[in-house]
Amino acid sequence: MTVTADARTELDRTRFFINGEWVEPRGTETHNALEAATGESLGTAALGTDADIDAAVGAARNALDHGPWSRTTPAERAEVMLRFAEALESRSEATSKLVSQENGMPITLSSAFNGAAPAGLLRMYADVISNTELETVRPSAQGATIVRREPVGVVGAITPWNYPQALAMFKLAPALAAGCTMVLKPSPETALDTYVFADAAQEAGLPPGVLNIVLAGREAGASLVSHPGVDKVAFTGSTAAGRIIGAECGRLIRRCTLELGGKSASIVLDDADLDTFLAAMPTSSFMNNAQTCTTASRILASRARYDEVVEAVAEFSRRQVVGNPLDSSTTLGPMASQTHLERVMGYIDVGRNSSARLVTGGGRPSDQDRGWFVEPTVFADVDNNDQLAREEVFGPVFAVIPFDSDDDAVRIANDSNYGLGGSVYSADEERALGVARRVRTGTIGVNRYDIDLGAPFGGMKDSGIGRELGPEGINNYLEYKSIYAPANRLG
């Protein structure tokens, strides 16, 4: 799809959203956003500097210390959040399309995660805060203690390119509900869509400085993490970046939530129904072109049915409709960028040069002569110690690994630095649940894998620290305070 010059001009984002206004950048660097399916220009976005981050944090700090937001009642915050949800919802179709152009996400998935989910999360956390008791009184030895829950303060939110709208709202919605103020730093790979939040916030009447948005690269992102005006960092991204952020937050005694990488396993037990397993693969392994942190890129198959599973996974991969993500029939779009495509192809080369067996894929689709496309690729006979089984590819490259027993499957699944997602398939639900309970991972499905926005989400081990989503997600943005008071407060 070719984007006209006029459409591109409308998408340009050459200013930042700070203190409720569109302001000129302090620097001159820009990012040219390219369409993943064609490589053609979508628009230009300004990239922020340390000075832009400083201005945004200053606005958030002022809004927290002197503005009304942190002192509003839960009901007042909920009312603004519901208007915010309506404003986003009215833009959802255009936003979904834009994200699909930016990162290659199939439009049906983008409509759910970048169109519907952000508004849904705002409504969910508006309801959560409306039903959360922020102050209770309990008896103490000398009288009474008032236990309060207050906003954690200024939040620096750093979000990735794969689900830009949804993952930003994983942080924005509970933080706003708690009464925090924020600086959002989105990824340059999806440079254009995040500013939709600013447009909607203005329409909803969010007070100036409560939400500030500065697109920036790693250096300016680092200045947000270490800025003295920030009280908490909420990050979704790679484990490598998460280590650096976590170390800096530890040095500064600063709260952080880290949702990082994964190398999840789908465990196909010897009594599994393969039709059930294959029906789950679009969400367990192929969701968003496998550019998803929970992607089950390790397929653990019982040795008793190993060849059958290998062929089923290969045939499923061959049936994928690879094409333009704006076509509703497409099931596998392009990689998000040329750089990321090269990374994925590098891992395919790793597999070719190992003892693993290439079953299908491994190259560029013959009918796609532009954009950043790759064939879904399946390797069999992979050893769990191989690089292909240890490292996150973040693309449609799958390693099929044999196991001998339920215990062996659990051992292999747990023999990973990561622990974010996973699934278990068996005709015996109790057996599958027993295996699922033994896998060290933050989320796992039985005969399916679908993220539940109403339940805690996060990882173990190198997959992160803390949980987002569900009613529990608001706890990231609230602090406890104990006020020792006279006994008459117990009445």
- Which residues are annotated as catalytic? 259
Distances (CA, A) of 278 to 117, 274, 316, 429: 25, 6, 7, 17
State how far the Cα of 105 lies from the Cα of 162, in Å rounded to an integer: 8
State how far the Cα of 473 lies from the Cα of 375, in Å rounded to an integer: 37
Helices within 20-73 (DSSP H only):
50-66
Q: How far is CA 45 from the centre of its chain?
A: 22
Residue-by-residue DSSP string for 114-159: IIIHHHHHHHHHHHHHHT---EEEEEETTEEEEEEEEE--EEEEE-
State how far the Cα of 355 lies from the Cα of 473, in Å rounded to an integer: 43
Cα–Cα–Cα angle for 221, 226, 230, rounded to 5 degrees: 95
State how far the Cα of 458 lies from the Cα of 213, in Å rounded to an integer: 25
Q: Are 388 and 240 in contact (CB under 8 A)?
A: no
Phi, psi of 467 (to 5 degrees): -135, 140
Which run of H or E residues covers position 302?
Answer: strand 298-302
Task: Render the burial of 64-83: b for 16+ CB within 10 Å, e for the rest.
Answer: beebebbeeebeebbbbbbb
Return all residues near 375 (Cβ < 8 A) that are at least 6 apart: 322, 360, 361, 362, 363, 364, 365, 396
Which run of H or E residues covers position 343?
Answer: helix 338-352
The two tokens of residue 319 are 């049936």
